[in-house]
Structure 1
Amino acid sequence: MSEAFPPPSSAPSRMRLRARALTAVARRYVRANPVSLCVVVAVLAAAAATGSLWGEDARAWGAGPLATFSSGRWWTLITALVVPDSTVDAASSVLLALTVLAYAERLLGSRRTGVLLGVLGVSGLVVGIGFHAAAWTLSDLRPVVAAEVPVLDPTTPIAGVVMAASAFAPVLWRRRLRLVGFALLALFALYAGDADSWYRLSTAVIGLVVGGVLARGREHRSWHRSSTRETRTLLALLVAVVGSGPLVALVSGGGRGPLSLVVDAYTQYDDELLGRCSKVAETVCDEQIALLMTRGAGPALLAVVPLVLLLVAAWGLRQGRRSAWILAELVLVASAVLPVVSLLDGRLQIDPWVDGSGAEYVLWALATVVVPLALAGALFVARARFSLRARRTAARIAALVIGAALLVCAAGLFAVEEIGRRSFNRELSVLELAGLTLRRFLPPSFTHTGGSTAFPHHGPALFAYQWFGVVFWIIVIATILWLYRRVRRPDASDQNHYRELLRRGSDTLGFLGTWEGNRHWYSDDRECAVAYRLTGDVALAVADPLAPAGRRREALRGFADFCVEYGWIPAFYSVHSDTLDDLVEWGWHHVPVGVETVMDLPGLTFAGKSWQKVRQPLARAEREGYTAVWTHWHELTVAQAAQVIAIDEEWVADRALPEMGFTLGSLDELRDRDVRLLLAVDANGRIEAVTSWMPSWTDGTVTGWTLDFMRRRTNGPNGMMEFLIAKAALQLQDEGATVLSLSGAPLADDPDGPADGDPAPLRAVLRWLAEVLEPAYGFASLFRFKGKFRPRYRPLALAYRDPLQLPAIGAAVGRAYLPGASRHEMVALAKSAWEGRR
């Protein structure tokens, strides 16, 4: 697997080939998504015609209770679905049409997509306008119901069609579209509260119902992911919504949604309260004036720290981190309890609305207390799902960093304030100054001291007052994110047990799992095993799992659940068709990553014209006095070992490139006592070429051998590899072996396989990697060389579960093959690749 055969340097113009490929992709996209492209054209044309594309007011084309029903402009039910209200709305509509709507069109079909765009869009507007008008008639709801602002929103019908198409999507994408889609729609409706958000939500609900009706009777795969992963994703999504909801309300000008009242806890000061303070003195006025006088970017960032912490916690919850669970619980409970304390001590005041109904109390309690506490309770119930703890050393480092940051920032702030005492609005004692210093490291919503609040008016003290707390929280957030990456790994696996399972029965590539750098997963009864290489957060399972007859699926599912438990991305690399079929049945995706070439030894002879390319170098080498010597590394003499090392170093030095690993063996793998070496030795004892062979077993008996290491002297005679492989086949046939695998050619496609006119993104990445490495390592040439032995081709695939994880998987494969490449070696590799393209 490790020999390289440099390819010819001449190649067609890659620029022309890429231009053709891009043209073909564009044509396929146009053919597959005509409705989505028509939507793009219609939105841009309508925006240009009405002037909304460059900021002109186009509300005359909008829909609403007054604009549509009272004014009798029924045609606005159509124009509101096409005309955007701003440049940003036009850009977002075009982006959604080219992406999620295009995906929905592939699921539904173009004709059905076109019909549903009109039907769902109009239906959603009618229902939304009806609810809007009905809510406006209720005086209790009037303060939180958006007033009549004509709606212009092309994303409304898109939302309905996407939710309808979700019924036809695979399990993964069906859940993802619905969870993420409705979370975002509800986020804007409940916090921002504009009419557009409610109309989109109404259309999405109608689309969900219609999609369910259209998809009746369709068979859906039942197993896709473990409940642990689903629970983590759902709770992380809810925490993210609670954290980003007030931010949405803040950005939208305070929001009018039923949960937008919570935004008051994250603002710097209260305009209405300050207005009342000008007439009646209250205890809270001093604090509000202090917030007004010291407002700016720093205090604004400090005010939203709890929301940012919730978003950081949501990121860790998705990965199952215990530290994220603790962070989320603390912030949620504090966010719910502290406002109640403020209400009880009089610092927070809520007045009934003009009709005296007091409904604002209900909405305030729901947004500020009930939602955070309910979510904190759900996290507490599901605490076992977030079991990934940081390494003890990392946890101690994080605690020391945060403690040191607090000490340094607090000391610095106190020193600056002490020096700038005259810039404060009143005289402060040392104790008061210390209390003020500590308070600046807490968001305003988390502080509840009453009475007069001192503050600086100008100078360095004001700058430190505004920014030292922000700096501290930046350090805290960075430390938490760093801690997420330092997770306790599973205990070191027992490699001896893996070898025992190998001897029970293994496929031709199973021995790769014994190599250094691999870990091993075992089933509870230790009868099933999977070897994997952990690269970042990607667990690349190497070759097929080891499992007794009938338990392969159990091993695949157990390993996938194991990866989910530790927050890793599972991927099965270099698996054969039997394993791949099981994964595909569960909804996994796959791309080819190589082809294994296998020789069946029973009845093998090198007679006939088809074997002439093998028979000639074999006969020539024997005629020139070369012999094939079987041995093991530990049986080599010092002189022989030195020659083998010199041949390998010569091969590596000739390329000045990093030596590859993962599924490509090196000298380290030759030292294994189960690995046999076959040397080509001349009459004088000089070693000209080296090959290594890994065993495979059936019921405890060696029945196959797999070629791994291939090296020859660069100035040696030609045909040495053909000589050694032919000799190995004949000798192992006599020993009773039935299979001789020439191993896989990494990243090479089967020439007899079907052409792939629409490669998946990961396959495109792997093909690019193959192009870059080909001038240096010659994988394609190696594949053609093995074709001389008339092998049986066994495709090798990489199976993955989630298409959104393709970038991480592709990067993990690259790092696995080039684990220790230095900067100098990567530059040499790039230079070699560039020279090979000329």
Structure 2
Amino acid sequence: MLHMHVPVWGTSGRYIRLPSLVLAAVILGVSVVGMRTGEFRGSGMYDLRALALGLLRVDDPALLVVVLVATLLVCGWAERVMGGVRMLFAFVGGGLIASVVGVLVGELESTVLTALPLNSEPTGGANPVAALLVVAMAASCFTDALWRRRIRLLGALVAVTLFLYAASAGDLYAVVALPVGIALGRLTGGARSTSGVQRSSHHETRVLLAALTTVVAVGPVIATVWGTGAGLLSAYGWLSYDPLVLAGGTVCVPGSFAVPCPDGAAYDELQPNAGWIAAIPLAVLLVAAWGILRGRRSALWIAIGMNILLCGGMTYVFVASEPDTLALFAQVQGVDAAFVWQTLVGLVVGAMVPLGVAVTLFLCRRAVPVSSTRRAENIFVCTIVVAAAGVSLATLAGSLSLSGDFTPRPSVGEIVGDLPMRLLPPSLIPAAAVTYVPESAAAQALWYLPSLIFWAVCAGGTFRLMVTPQAVRGADDRARADEMVRRGCSSLGFMATWPGNLYWFCADADAAIAYRVHGRVAVTLGGAFGADRNDPRIGHAFVEFCGRNGWTPVFYSVDQSFAEALAPLQWQRVRVADEATMDPQSWTPAGKKRQDVRTATNRAQREEVHAQWITWNELSVVDRLQIRAISEAWVADKTIPEMGFTLGSVDEAADPATRLMLARDATGHIVAVTTWIPIFGAKGLSGYALDVMRRRHDAMNGVMEFLIGSAVDVTREEGCTVLSLSGSPLAPHREQQVAALPALDRLLEMLSGLLEPAYGFRSLANFKKKFQPDFSPLWMVYPDAVQLPGIALALLRCYVPGLSLTQAARVAARARTSST
């Protein structure tokens, strides 16, 4: 990261510099004087003096505190990435431009787009919040691609959400500030966005999906609490109004044919807090958003289901609503009847938004891979069904016994027919569908409580499904595998504990094999692990297990000893990688061929870069964010999706047994990271294997050599006897010329060359040679060459789960293009 990982304490010794402090002081002074005396008011919305002072004035004391803190943080950061002069120009100049453009857009809305609900009419210029958005957007042009995307997405989510749901005049200026800020950033020397979409890692994709789900969940609350009633999605705020009111002491429903309200009567809400029951289903969406962030596939399906329900509900309300009823309801609520048409338009848009979110979640489902157990899913479904049935039966029994407390008295058929509506929050029931109303307190409890109880159970059931460790599919097997790995494993053995693997446990030996099934091919992740992993019967027993299931077994990335144990099968094998290993007790950087390692170490000392051996749990939140940012920038630079299987990511670094070797600069910021997974022998921990290597693009040359050399020193002190630099997939060390290789080896060489521009496997293999390690072959052992097409596709899907043939062809085309 070039700009975002700036020192917290700069060369001046201050994070907040003078321009930001002066700007915050001016906002404070103008706001205080304005609140006390009413000064600084312009003569109209075209008064430039008024527009300029509007950028510096906040009339709400509580909001003033928030704005001052935001000014110090946003402007202080912007100064460091683009300079104080550009920052002030963006705030003042960009704020004025946003004001003028916002006024013009407001004029266009009031004269041309009168039928569309957009926002309340602008009566003045942009506020400091809009100016700060201009600064943030302009500064984003001076950051790298990853942070540019993050800042713009965050700004767009906040501004657009407020504009759609709250729709105040200030929210219009906030939306206008987004393109104004980006344009100013480019004009003042910032970088333009690259063409095409920046690729995200699975973690970053989950963050975006969770954010999208959260917007749908909190938007209706914003529309209810802060909404002006003029936004495209302000109709959600209308749905928080309880249709039951009191008129002259009588319960009635405006717009209902069965229980209408008397003309000209004064209205009071029957239950003023009833609208909040509609927020409980939104709580289910919030829990689902959290589950999506954790990678839980069940959370994604719950979010999809809730969005489809929202879409269906809004569609039903639109179909069932009549303009006359809405006009009467607007009159009851004291809202301008001109908003009736806008409400109908808003209902259409309000139905399309959750539908679009549901489609987006479905298309991106592969980024949310963690499945729940069938038992946990069944418990969740049964909980919802039992809750619905129990609440409905209790409501039925209560309504029948208290039928005289309803007006008019409902028949048994009406009570039974209305049971599904009792599960809906009362404010979502269309007025025309209400045929009787509760009079007594007990009847009102039967009216309001069923939906509250039902949705509270739904929210609790969803939360339980997300937090229960045993709800994750294979959690018990994974825990058992984790114990067995610690009793003995190869350098790849610890990868067996990563999510996504299935496990076969040998019935008569302390050994297991991790594998993945794609199509009818079962691909192992390395060889066996456990105390008896070297037992030659293990591989044969796994073959029999696969045969019983109708699978073709493929032993992938197994070491020489395990491959030889499979020799009696008389299967074919191909060398897929070479593992580079070193003995920390005897390895030294001495020698001409290790000059690069010594040079990197000396340079690190000169530039005050130091190494730190640490676990993920010991890192601060800021450190974790820095590591994720470095990794996301690396992924964004790739032309193919993030790969897995034998290639880990930052997500796997969170395991307590995994170690990280970090490079920190003189200010303490992380400039590079490597992760190391443990290798266990018969006597416990015997060493570590290199997994992830990431660096900032402005890190010193040789930082990786420095980190690996530092890892050797640390593991030597810990008494480790092996340090593996792992294998480089599809890049084995070969003595022969490519033309002299067998056909399959030539095919793998071609695939390696195709992927080289994207992942650099060959370059990685050459890099490891700098340390002069010992190389050991890793093999793929398979039954028959006739099955190679299916095996190749299975391997591709192991590395990139869910990849279809069409997508595979597209990936190959992109990789081929990048290599030319």
TM-score by length of 2: 0.55
Paired amino acid for 2:23: V
Tell me, yes or no, if the aligned pair for 1:136 and 1:145 is still in contact at 8 Å.
no
Given candidates 439, 443, 453, the residue that maps to 2:435 is 453
Identity %: 21
Matched, 1:105 2:82: no
Given candidates 447, 470, 487, the residue that maps to 1:465 is 447
Matched, 1:126 2:108: no
Describe the SS at the equivalent of 2:55: coil
Larger Rg: 1
In the superposition, relative to structure 1, how do residues 106 and 442 fare at CA in structure 2: closer, same or farther (>3 Å)?
Answer: same
Matched, 1:369 2:351: yes
Given candidates 287, 293, 296, the residue that maps to 2:271 is 296
The number of aligned residues is 551
Tell me, yes or no, if the aligned pair for 2:118 and 2:232 is still in contact at 8 Å.
yes
Residues 331-376 of structure 1: per-residue CA shift (max 9 Å, x gap): 3223223443444455676889999999748833542232232332
Q: What is the distance in 2 between the residues matched to 1:500 and 1:131?
A: 66
Q: Which has the higher contact order (CA 8 A, sep 6+)?
A: 1
Matched, 1:424 2:406: yes
Describe the SS at the equivalent of 1:140: coil
Matched, 1:68 2:48: no
Paired amino acid for 1:471: I
Residues 52-91 of structure 1: per-residue CA shift (max 9 Å, x gap): 6xxx8x5x6457xx7132xxx3211221011102123212
Given candidates 363, 366, 375, the residue that maps to 1:393 is 375
Paired amino acid for 2:85: R
Tell me, yes or no, if the aligned pair for 2:284 and 2:462 is still in contact at 8 Å.
no
In the superposition, relative to structure 1, how do residues 74 and 341 fare at CA in structure 2: closer, same or farther (>3 Å)?
Answer: closer
Q: What is the distance in 2 between the residues matched to 1:240 and 1:127?
A: 30
Matched, 1:312 2:325: no
Describe the SS at the equivalent of 1:168: coil
Q: CA deviation at 1:149?
A: 3.2
Matched, 1:169 2:143: yes
Describe the SS at the equivalent of 2:45: helix
In the superposition, relative to structure 1, how do residues 446 and 126 fare at CA in structure 2: closer, same or farther (>3 Å)?
Answer: closer
Matched, 1:190 2:177: no
Q: What is the distance in 2 between the residues matched to 1:279 and 1:427?
A: 16
Tell me, yes or no, if the aligned pair for 2:94 and 2:181 is still in contact at 8 Å.
yes
Equivalent residue, structure 2, for 1:37: 21
In the superposition, relative to structure 1, how do residues 288 and 111 fare at CA in structure 2: closer, same or farther (>3 Å)?
Answer: farther
Residues 9-45 of structure 1: per-residue CA shift (max 9 Å, x gap): xxxxxxxxxxxxxxx9799774543333223222222
In the superposition, relative to structure 1, how do residues 419 and 95 fare at CA in structure 2: closer, same or farther (>3 Å)?
Answer: farther
Tell me, yes or no, if the aligned pair for 1:190 and 1:257 is still in contact at 8 Å.
yes
Describe the SS at the equivalent of 1:526: strand
Equivalent residue, structure 1, for 2:30: 46
Tell me, yes or no, if the aligned pair for 1:267 and 1:303 is still in contact at 8 Å.
no
Q: What is the distance in 2 between the residues matched to 1:555 and 1:127?
A: 40
Equivalent residue, structure 2, for 1:488: 473
Equivalent residue, structure 2, for 1:209: 183
Describe the SS at the equivalent of 1:367: helix
Q: CA deviation at 1:497?
A: 11
In the superposition, relative to structure 1, how do residues 213 and 316 fare at CA in structure 2: closer, same or farther (>3 Å)?
Answer: farther
Tell me, yes or no, if the aligned pair for 2:252 and 2:260 is still in contact at 8 Å.
no
Tell me, yes or no, if the aligned pair for 1:155 and 1:200 is still in contact at 8 Å.
yes
Paired amino acid for 1:114: L
Tell me, yes or no, if the aligned pair for 2:138 and 2:182 is still in contact at 8 Å.
yes
Q: What is the distance in 2 between the residues matched to 1:224 and 1:429?
A: 61
Q: What is the distance in 1 between the residues matched to 2:642 and 2:719?
A: 22
Equivalent residue, structure 2, for 1:235: 209
Tell me, yes or no, if the aligned pair for 1:61 and 1:76 is still in contact at 8 Å.
yes
Residues 643-699 of structure 1: per-residue CA shift (max 9 Å, x gap): xxxxxxxxxxxxxxxxxxx99x9xxx9xx6446xxxxxxxxxxxxxxxxx947899x
Matched, 1:86 2:52: no
Q: What is the distance in 2 between the residues matched to 1:39 and 1:472?
A: 51
Tell me, yes or no, if the aligned pair for 1:159 and 1:204 is still in contact at 8 Å.
yes
Paired amino acid for 2:183: V
Q: What is the distance in 2 between the residues matched to 1:405 and 1:288?
A: 38
Counterparts in 2 of 1:581-660, with a 5 A limit? none
Tell me, yes or no, if the aligned pair for 1:82 and 1:154 is still in contact at 8 Å.
yes
Paired amino acid for 1:49: V
Tell me, yes or no, if the aligned pair for 1:77 and 1:122 is still in contact at 8 Å.
yes
Q: What is the distance in 1 between the residues matched to 2:67 and 2:198?
A: 32
Paired amino acid for 2:311: A
Given candidates 557, 565, 573, the residue that maps to 1:526 is 557
Give the gaps of 5 or more residues in structure 1: 1-23, 505-515, 542-552, 597-661, 676-692, 699-736, 746-838
Counterparts in 2 of 1:6-45, with a 5 A limit? 30=14, 32-45=16-29
Tell me, yes or no, if the aligned pair for 1:270 and 1:288 is still in contact at 8 Å.
no
Q: What is the distance in 1 between the residues matched to 2:618 and 2:411?
A: 53
Counterparts in 2 of 1:656-671, with a 5 A limit? none
Counterparts in 2 of 1:396-795, with a 5 A limit? 396-444=378-426, 447=429, 452-485=434-467, 486-489=471-474, 492=478, 501-502=490-491, 522=525, 525-526=556-557, 558=644, 574-576=659-661, 673-674=682-683, 694=686, 741-743=716-718
Q: CA deviation at 1:592?
A: 12
Describe the SS at the equivalent of 1:67: coil
Q: What is the distance in 2 between the residues matched to 1:95 and 1:176?
A: 21
Q: What is the distance in 1 between the residues matched to 2:80 and 2:45?
A: 34
Q: CA deviation at 1:155?
A: 1.5
In the superposition, relative to structure 1, how do residues 284 and 235 fare at CA in structure 2: closer, same or farther (>3 Å)?
Answer: farther
Equivalent residue, structure 2, for 1:180: 154
In the superposition, relative to structure 1, how do residues 423 and 61 fare at CA in structure 2: closer, same or farther (>3 Å)?
Answer: farther
Matched, 1:137 2:168: no
Root mean square deviation, CA, Å: 5.7
Q: CA deviation at 1:477?
A: 0.8
In the superposition, relative to structure 1, how do residues 350 and 245 fare at CA in structure 2: closer, same or farther (>3 Å)?
Answer: farther
In the superposition, relative to structure 1, how do residues 435 and 119 fare at CA in structure 2: closer, same or farther (>3 Å)?
Answer: same
Q: What is the distance in 2 between the residues matched to 1:375 and 1:503?
A: 39
Equivalent residue, structure 2, for 1:249: 223
Describe the SS at the equivalent of 1:68: coil
Q: What is the distance in 2 between the residues matched to 1:145 and 1:438?
A: 35
Paired amino acid for 1:526: S
Q: CA deviation at 1:742?
A: 2.4
Q: CA deviation at 1:300?
A: 1.0
In the superposition, relative to structure 1, how do residues 500 and 488 fare at CA in structure 2: closer, same or farther (>3 Å)?
Answer: closer
Q: What is the distance in 1 between the residues matched to 2:82 and 2:486?
A: 50
In the superposition, relative to structure 1, how do residues 34 and 310 fare at CA in structure 2: closer, same or farther (>3 Å)?
Answer: same
Matched, 1:268 2:252: no
Tell me, yes or no, if the aligned pair for 2:209 and 2:361 is still in contact at 8 Å.
yes
Describe the SS at the equivalent of 2:407: coil
Q: CA deviation at 1:227?
A: 4.2
In the superposition, relative to structure 1, how do residues 142 and 342 fare at CA in structure 2: closer, same or farther (>3 Å)?
Answer: closer
Tell me, yes or no, if the aligned pair for 1:78 and 1:122 is still in contact at 8 Å.
yes
Residues 115-158 of structure 1: per-residue CA shift (max 9 Å, x gap): 32222111111211222223223362586442353356222211
Paired amino acid for 1:574: R
Q: What is the distance in 1 between the residues matched to 2:346 and 2:183?
A: 32
Tell me, yes or no, if the aligned pair for 2:134 and 2:182 is still in contact at 8 Å.
yes
Equivalent residue, structure 1, for 2:562: none
Describe the SS at the equivalent of 1:75: helix
Q: What is the distance in 1 between the residues matched to 2:262 and 2:368?
A: 40
Describe the SS at the equivalent of 2:44: helix
